[in-house]
Structure 1
Amino acid sequence: MDSTASSPVVLVTGASSGLGRATATLLASQGYRVFGTSRTPSRAPEAPFTLLPLDVRDDASVEACVAEVLRAAGRIDVLISNAGCAFVGAVEETSIAEAQAQMETNCFGALRVMRAVLPAMRVRQRGRIVAISSLAGLLPPPFLGAYAASKHALEALSESLAYEVRPHGVHVSLVELDGMRTGIPFARPSRREPSYAEPSARMLARLERITGDAGGDPAELAGCVLDVLANPAPALRYVLGKEATLAVAARRQLSEADYIRTMVGRLGLWDAPTGAGTRREGA
Structure 2
Amino acid sequence: MSKVVLITGGSSGIGKSIGEFLLEKGFKVYGTSRNPNNYKSSKFPILELDVQNNQTILRAVQVVIKKEGCLNVLINNAGAGITGPIEETPEDEIKKNFETNFFGPINVIKAVLPQMRKQRSGLIINITSIAGYMGLPYRGIYSASKGALELLTEAFRMELKGFNIEMTNVAPGDFATNIAAGRYHVPLNDTSPYKQSYGNTLDLMNKHVDTGSDPSIMAQAVYKLINTGKPGVHYKVGEFMQKFSIVLKRVLPSKVYEKLLMNHYKL
Q: Identify the TM-score tier after normalising by the shorter chain.
A: over 0.9
Give the equivalent residue in structure 2 for 1:14. 9
Give the equivalent residue in structure 1 for 2:94. 99
Shift of 1:190: 6.4
Please say if 1:80 is aligned against 2:75.
yes
Give the equivalent residue in structure 2 for 1:281. none
Give the equivalent residue in structure 2 for 1:233. 230
Give the equivalent residue in structure 2 for 1:156. 151
Alpha-carbon distance in 2 for matches of 1:32, 1:89: 39
Shift of 1:45: 5.8
Conserved? CA contact 2:7–2:15, under 8 Å: yes
More divergent stretch after superposition (225-234 vs 200-209): 200-209
TM-score (norm 2): 0.95
Give the equivalent residue in structure 2 for 1:277. none
Shift of 1:87: 0.8
Q: 1:130 is aligned with what amino acid?
A: I
TM-score (norm 1): 0.90
Please say if 1:199 is aligned against 2:186.
no
Give the equivalent residue in structure 1 for 2:47. 52
Give the equivalent residue in structure 2 for 1:67. 62
Conserved? CA contact 1:16–1:45, under 8 Å: no
Shift of 1:239: 1.1
Shift of 1:155: 1.0
2:125 aligned to which of 112, 127, 130: 130
More divergent stretch after superposition (148-157 vs 246-255): 148-157
Alpha-carbon distance in 2 for matches of 1:34, 1:119: 20
Give the equivalent residue in structure 1 for 2:249. 251
Give the unaligned 5+ runs of structure 2.
none
Conserved? CA contact 1:25–1:47, under 8 Å: no
Give the equivalent residue in structure 1 for 2:109. 114
Q: Matched residue of 2:5: which SS?
A: strand
The percentage of counterpart residues that share the same residue type is 32
Q: 2:47 is aligned with what amino acid?
A: L
Q: Which runs of 4+ in 1 moved over 6 A?
A: none
- Determine which structure has greater relative contact order: mean sequence separation of CA pairs < 8 Å that are 6+ residues apart, divided by chain length: 2
Q: 1:252 is aligned with what amino acid?
A: R
Conserved? CA contact 1:8–1:78, under 8 Å: yes
Conserved? CA contact 1:93–1:191, under 8 Å: no
Q: How many residues align?
A: 263
**CA 1:45/1:246 → structure 2, altered by over 3 Å: closer, same or farther?**
farther
Q: Matched residue of 1:171: which SS?
A: strand
Conserved? CA contact 1:54–1:62, under 8 Å: yes
Q: 2:84 is aligned with what amino acid?
A: G
Shift of 1:228: 0.6
More divergent stretch after superposition (187-196 vs 59-68): 187-196
Shift of 1:201: 1.6
Shift of 1:44: 2.3
